[in-house]
Amino acid sequence: MMHGPCGLANLSSPCMKKDRCSKYYPKKFQAKTVRDHEGYLVYRRRDNGREMIKSGITLGNRSVVPHNPYLLMKYQAHINMEWCN
């Protein structure tokens, strides 16, 4: 699942607040999954050059939204859940 496009590519996106994405996308590339200083997980995001086009805008790994396809289909709804092992 991809977030966006937002930011300078689409200033009228619903996630835009004060000229910035309220969900903090696109995320930074990250070599491995780590905990930040507040205890939240920062997931690994590889810089492998993979891209896709959405609404005429090229999006890469920085715009991928972590999700669970099984739960999305089972409950037919967005579920905000994290399970890191």
Q: Where are the domains of the chain?
A: 27-75
**Would you say the C-alpha torsion 45, 61, 76, 17 has a positive or negative sign?**
positive
Closest CA to 2 of 65, 66, 53: 65
Rounded Cα distance between 82 and 44, Å, is 14
Closest CA to 63 of 37, 32, 34, 26: 26
Torsions phi, psi for 60 (to 5 deg): -120, -160
Q: Please check the confidence at residue 1 and state whether its pLDDT lies above 90.
A: no
The DSSP secondary-structure symbol of 55 reads T
What is the band of 4 on the pLDDT scale with cuts at 50, 70, 90?
A: confident
Q: pLDDT of 24-79, one tens digit each?
A: 999 999 999 999 999 888 989 999 999 999 988 899 999 998 888 888 899 998 77
The owner of tokens 């996308």 is 25
